[in-house]
Structure 1
């Protein structure tokens, strides 16, 4: 890996990476507010509605690691900029979608661009920032993500209410274009391997096939097809793990993953955390608009609570993780999230909206404490030459977790409501599906707290 002094200004680079990092959470949180309108306009069923965000996360999750490996070979700058360009193009096309199928396809293709962008962005930043400032820089990125999450419901609600849902994609495309333009001008280094290596096509295909089967199968539960696909996915991924151990230039360095305990457990913590939290905003958006009858703008003002707290707290926790136990901070954050999920399990048709706001505040606090320290642990646990791999693994865990979280929500909706449009006649069933989703997420989060505490204890022993 090239170790020459960076020609890229780290201040302007941080701005570009932060803007890139804000694109997906902004669009995702804004889109959650627009889903009832998209469902009505494109005649989507409850289950089909869940695939609008899930299709994007699926392609991003399965392709981040192969693209990160490719970026190590041809240059991270090239792959990053190509990804932003693809994301811009398919965001525009999503805005022009006239059917549910075309929208889901465009979102899947936009996810390919995101995989290229997110498989390289954190690695680019980590390679450019001095070690002693890494936690702070990662905290700034986390804060940017949460501020965009906060802006998403508010801006998305206003755009949907006063214009239409199409405008969300056009605004996101405009931001993507700015990132692409700024990236071409500001990013000077390419960060690629000095030695020539081969791309692991077989390993990449096995990884994509296994992960796709696993995630899609999870969303098909409790149908028989879902169990078959999950079983097939597990078998393929086990073979993939065996295959990668024998490769000189693996797409996924399984030896680092299995041999580096801190990296492995921290990545698992990220997977569990996102699996337990991502579906919250999706379910609450449906609840606030369908059951409580709020406008997109008003629902967005309630959902904004969590993201604002996340943004403020993540800045502080990022700095703290440079000075004290990042593992303790991450464990504490996940425990607070579990407490918030416990509170969500008791929501009914008449729950006081201030209660929901207080729970969202608690969740924001927990997530803000967890995210930056856990990212710092992951990126600091590997050598410089493996930053790309670590960045892509972290991104994959995040997106796989989010996809699993949506799979839980889709499964619950499928069991309680079925493949029909959401109407007042199924509001009781919607609350039931929401409650079971939160219970499953709570169980996952409690397991995550245990795993994180075990990591701390083992570290102390060593």
Structure 2
């Protein structure tokens, strides 16, 4: 019975986490209008959520292994539910931004424990199936977010997005409340608080510095401080008994390069939806629902083709399948760099389909390569590492978008906002395309899979 409850609860959070992110994208222009700011300033709504998630992901995962994953998961759900509900009543932008940061912190508890509980609560022979269901819910959240979010924004206002999300998370909490079983990793280990602090400060410094560098050039020193702290964190992990981060796994070339490719791929792709939402609504005049329907094409292709791509990577070298997918994505991003004030919806839709195909061909095979590169006892560590790469990549992507939009719209003259914004959007897709191209090199450099580990 507990198995079924955990399954439903985790799938609900797997859906509503991505749903909230993708639905908020189409609501950005409406939020900007209500709060009286330019739309590009609201990149912080996404950036702060990601920042909160990134800085707590590793510490919360380690803490859950020692003290109980269900406990940490349920605490995260409660925190996400109440901060999400509080967003409905945010009277000012600063309060909304604070709540979004807190959402990210609590969501990190879900990211670091949900998949581990799914695997631990089901027999090994069902592992692939339940992971597939979880991935399906993630893509469904991404797919339905722009449509449902666009409809809610257009007809009931953007605040109803958070009401809908909170209801879903409260349902997950209710289902999980009757589960009494607990799951642990190694209860004999200890959480190194100093490593946790080094990691959090490093991540926050680097990502905040990148996001605000365009407006405050002195932020370059914050980035440098973050990099120094990152070096100190890595050094410490190699010299303590209970490291927060298992660096020894990176001695495996396939594991190391596959995770690097994941980091780069998410850095190149996460900002697509936000940037296109700005383009469609601010430059082209689309309403929120119409923009959401068009943006739906990419995640639909990801949902449909991911299982097929995973099967392909079982038959063929994952690095070849994943690298071809990243190449297709890079091409799509390059084509988006040619957007104008008259680009047709058919052109945009076709490119989104191409990017969706590329994303599907990359993601599942790359995850397959990562999990196949480690022994089963390290599956939890490998999954957590991949989650860190995903969240860090998403945060970097928004940092790139924020920086380039700030540069483009800085010191504009009267009447020049739309041309400046369009130039910024073109520059964003050019840089993201180049980033994705670098990722292809890393993907190909991972080497040939010899044999999946079984012990």
Q: Shared topology, TM-score over 0.5?
A: yes
Q: Do the aligned partners of residues 200 and 136 (structure 1) sit closer, same or farther apart at CA in structure 2, a change above 3 Å counting?
A: same
Aligned partner (choices 430, 437, 443) of residue 446 of structure 1: 437
1:389 is displaced (CA, Å) by 2.7
Assess if the C-alpha contact under 8 Å between 1:47 and 1:418 holds in 2: no
CA RMSD of aligned residues (A): 2.2
2:147 to 154, 160, 165: 154
Corresponding position of 2:259: 267
In structure 2, the partner of 1:365 is 357
Give the corresponding residue for 1:139.
132
- In the other structure, the counterpart of 1:84 is 77
- Aligned residue number for residue 370 of structure 2: 378
Structure 1: segments with no counterpart, 5+ residues = 1-6
Q: For residue 56 of structure 1, what is the aligned residue in structure 2? A: 49
Deviations 1:429-462 (A, max 9, x none): 11111111111111111111111111135869xx
Query: 1:362: how far off?
Result: 0.6
Pairwise CA distance, 1:46: 3.9
Query: What's the offset of the Cα at 1:341?
Result: 0.7
Q: For 2:120 and 2:253, how far apart are their aligned partners in 1?
A: 22
- Aligned residues of 2:88 and 2:160 also touching (Cα < 8 A): yes
Q: Matches of 2:312 and 2:237 in 1, distance apart?
A: 37
Residue 290 of structure 1 contacts residue 424 of structure 1 at CA under 8 Å; is this kept in 2? no
For residues 72-221 of structure 1, what are the structure 2 equivalents within 5 Å?
72-129=65-122, 134-185=127-178, 189-193=181-185, 195-221=187-213
Count of residue pairs brought into register by the alignment:
450
Deviations 1:38-80 (A, max 9, x none): 1111123344311011100001011101000000100111111
Q: Which residue in 1 is equivalent to 2:244?
A: 251
CA contact (8 A) 1:135 1:321 kept: no
- Partner Cα separation in structure 1 for residue 414 and residue 16 of structure 2: 32
Moved more, 219-228 or 160-169: 219-228
Q: TM-score, normalised by structure 1?
A: 0.92
Residues 324-333 or 436-445, more deviating: 324-333
CA distance in 1, matches of 2:355, 2:425: 17
**Secondary structure of 2:374's match?**
coil
Q: 1:458 to 1:372 in 2, by over 3 A?
A: closer
Matched, 1:305 2:297: yes
The aligned counterpart of 2:327 is 335
More divergent stretch after superposition (335-344 vs 128-137)? 128-137
1:183 shift after superposition? 2.4
Give the superposition deviation at 1:135.
4.3
Q: 1:457 and 1:194 mapped to 2: Cα distance?
A: 32
SS of residue matched to 1:429: helix
For the pair 1:290 / 2:286, whether they are aligned, the reply is: no
Residue 58 of structure 2: aligned partner:
65
- Contact kept, 8 Å, 2:28 with 2:39, in 1: the verdict is no
Instruction: Find the aligned partners of 1:253 and 1:355 in 2 and give their Cα distance.
Output: 45
Deviation at 1:330, TM superposition (A): 1.9
Note closer, same or farther for the CA distance 1:150–1:389 as it changes in structure 2 (3 Å cut). Answer: same
Distance 2:291 2:311 in 1: 32
Q: Report deviation, 1:328.
A: 2.7
Partner of 1:26: 19
In 1: Cα distance, 2:7 partner to 2:313 partner? 19
SS in 1 for 2:177: helix
> Offset at 1:423?
9.6
Assess if the C-alpha contact under 8 Å between 1:143 and 1:310 holds in 2: no
Q: TM-score, normalised by structure 2?
A: 0.93
2:12–2:172 CA contact under 8 A, matched in 1:
yes
**Offset, 1:424:** 6.5
Shift of 1:397: 1.1
Aligned to 2:232: 239
1:436 aligns with 2:436: no
Larger RCO (alpha carbons 8 Å, 6+ apart): 1
Deviation at 1:13, TM superposition (A): 3.9
> Structure 2 unaligned runs (5+)?
none
| CA deviation profile, 1:208-236 (whole Å, cap 9, x unmatched) | 00111111111123442232111111111
Cα deviation code 1:61-119 (max 9, x no counterpart): 11101000000100111111111111001000111111110000000001111100001
Distance (whole Å) between structure 1 residues aligned to residue 311 and residue 414 of structure 2: 47
How many Å apart are 1:124 and its aligned residue? Answer: 2.2
1:352 aligns with 2:371: no
